[in-house]
Structure 1
Amino acid sequence: MILALRQVRARALHRGEAGSALVEFVFLGVLLLVPLIYLVMTLARLQAGAYAASTAAREGARVFVTATSSPSAEPRARAAAQLAFEDQGFLPADGEVSVGCDGDPCLRPEGRVEVRATVRVPLPFVPAFARDVVPLEVPVSASHVGVVDRFREAP
C-alpha cells in the first residue's frame, strides 16, 4: 500500500513535465544547427574562392606563356582567369588578375611569368549595415609561375 502511494505521488510530480523533453530537444537542436549550417555555407564559399583563385592563376599563366605574340598574351591570360572565376560562381568584378615578368620581353625562351589572382568572397547573409563590425568579404589570392618553353622561337 505504501509502495502504491509512492507511485501515485511520483506520477503526480512528473505529470507537469510531460512533453518538455521534446521542446527542449527541438529548441537546442535549432539553436545549435543554425550556426553550424552558416559555418558550413561560409566554409564552402571560401573553398570555392580558393579553387577560383588557384585555377585562375594557373590557367592565366599557362595561357600567357603559350601565346603567339606579346600584345595578345595578357588579354588572353585575363580572359582565362575570368572564366575560372565565373566557373566557381563569382562575378567578373569580384576577381583581379596581375601579370608580372622577370625580364623583357616576357615571351622570350625560358622567361618566367607570374600571375597573381585575387577574388573577394562575400560572406553569406551579412547585412550592409553591419559593415563596420563584420567584414562583408574575405580576399583569397593565389599565384602561379609559368615558364616559357625553352625551344620557343623568340617573338
Structure 2
Amino acid sequence: MPRPRFWGEALRDDESGSAALEFIVGGVVLLVPIVYLIVTLGMIQSHALGVEAASRHVARAVSSAEGAEDADARAAAVLDSIVREYDLDADTLDVDVSCVGDSTACPAAGETLRVTVAASVPLPLVPPVLGLQDATRIGVESSSVQKVSRYWRDG
C-alpha cells in the first residue's frame, strides 16, 4: 500500500520554476561587484601608466633641454600631452623636479635629475556628497631619473 504524501514532501519534490529567478538574483549579486572591480582597476591602471609616462617623458625633456626656459616649455608641452592622452585630472597632478646630488643649482650640466609625478584616481560612481569624492581617491606615483645634458646652459 502506498504511503500517504505529506505537504512538506510534496514541496520538496517540486523543483519547477525557480531556476531562472535564482540565476538572475545570483548573477546580479555576483556580476555587479565584479564589473565595478574591473572598471576601478582599469581606471587605476590607466592613471598609473599615465603618471609613469609623465615622469619618464618630463625627465627626458628637461634633461635634454638647453636651458631653464627651454626645459619649462618642454615639460609643459609633455604634461599637456600626457594629461590629454591618459585622461588625467590636471588639478590633482603634482610634479616635483629635484636633483639627486647636493647641488645648489638644479638642474645643472651633468647633474642627476629626479622627476616625481603623483596623481589621485577618483573611484567610479562615488557621489559628491559630504566630500566622499575626495575621501575615496586612490593615489598613484612614479619617479624617473635622468642625467642632465652636458650642454645645459645656466641663466
Taking structure 2 as the reference length, the TM-score comes to 0.80
Q: Which amino acid aligns with 1:115?
A: V
Question: Partner residue of 1:34?
Answer: 32
Question: Partner residue of 2:108?
Answer: 107
Q: Which amino acid aligns with 2:107?
A: C
Deviations 1:44-66 (A, max 9, x none): 00001100111000000000011
Question: Partner residue of 1:128?
Answer: 128
Distance (whole Å) between structure 2 residues aligned to residue 20 and residue 105 of structure 1: 71
TM-fit CA distance, 1:93: 1.9
Question: Partner residue of 2:49?
Answer: 51
State which of 64, 70, 80 in structure 2 corresponds to 1:72. 70
Check the 8 A contact 1:52/1:119 in 2, yes or no. Answer: no
- Number of equivalenced pairs: 147
Distance (whole Å) between structure 2 residues aligned to residue 138 and residue 12 of structure 1: 51
Distance (whole Å) between structure 1 residues aligned to residue 84 and residue 119 of structure 2: 11
Deviates more, 1:73-82 or 1:24-33: 73-82
TM-fit CA distance, 1:140: 0.9
TM-fit CA distance, 1:131: 3.1
TM-fit CA distance, 1:75: 3.5
Cα RMSD over matched residues? Answer: 2.6
Distance (whole Å) between structure 2 residues aligned to residue 46 and residue 154 of structure 1: 36
Counterparts in 2 of 1:64 and 1:154: CA distance versus 1, 3 Å: closer
Question: Partner residue of 1:144?
Answer: 144
| Larger proportion of helix | 1
Q: Secondary structure at the match of 2:35?
A: helix
Query: How many percent identity over aligned positions?
Result: 30
Pairs within 5 Å for 1:78-89: 78-89=76-87
Q: Which amino acid aligns with 2:123?
A: L
Distance (whole Å) between structure 2 residues aligned to residue 121 and residue 70 of structure 1: 31
Taking structure 1 as the reference length, the TM-score comes to 0.80
Distance (whole Å) between structure 1 residues aligned to residue 133 and residue 115 of structure 2: 33
Question: Partner residue of 1:118?
Answer: 118
Check the 8 A contact 2:123/2:133 in 1, yes or no. Answer: no
Check the 8 A contact 1:54/1:142 in 2, yes or no. Answer: yes
Q: Which amino acid aligns with 2:53?
A: T
Check the 8 A contact 1:99/1:113 in 2, yes or no. Answer: yes
